[in-house]
Amino acid sequence: MRQPTACYWVKVQTIERPSRTVLEGIQDAWMAENGQIPEGNGSAADRWNQPVDTKPAMTDEEQQKFKQADELGQTKLLKQVARRVEAEVLEVLKQRGVQMDLRFNPKLKEQGLLDLK
């Protein structure tokens, strides 16, 4: 979801009881199998792991409104921008054949952030 144009496959492994040690072992094995450290596990890890900040996607008009708005107005505007970016991400995923329903954390949208719930 965070990098819909940069992810082309997913590898899944089912485990009985997740633990940091087990998960890090699986990650290390997959990276060794890959032969190199993928971008999302190296210098660009934040782009893959942290919520998407939709503020940079604000139009000039939205930026002006944001600067002039009170706190409530800013929250509403951030939510609108987050919903617009969410729709764009979902459309990209749909075009790529993703059929899974994705739900984003509604509270984070108020901060202009998108993260799966």
Query: Is there a contact between 115 and 103 (Cβ–Cβ < 8 Å)?
Result: no
Query: Is there a contact between 68 and 93 (Cβ–Cβ < 8 Å)?
Result: no
Checking if the pLDDT of 6 tops 90, the result is no
Q: Residues 57-79: what's their mean pLDDT?
A: 97
Choose among 59, 51, 116: nearest CA to 84: 59
> Which tokens is 59 given?
């139009």
Amino acid at 69: A
pLDDT the model gives residue 107: 94
Claim: this prediction has a pTM higher than 0.85: no
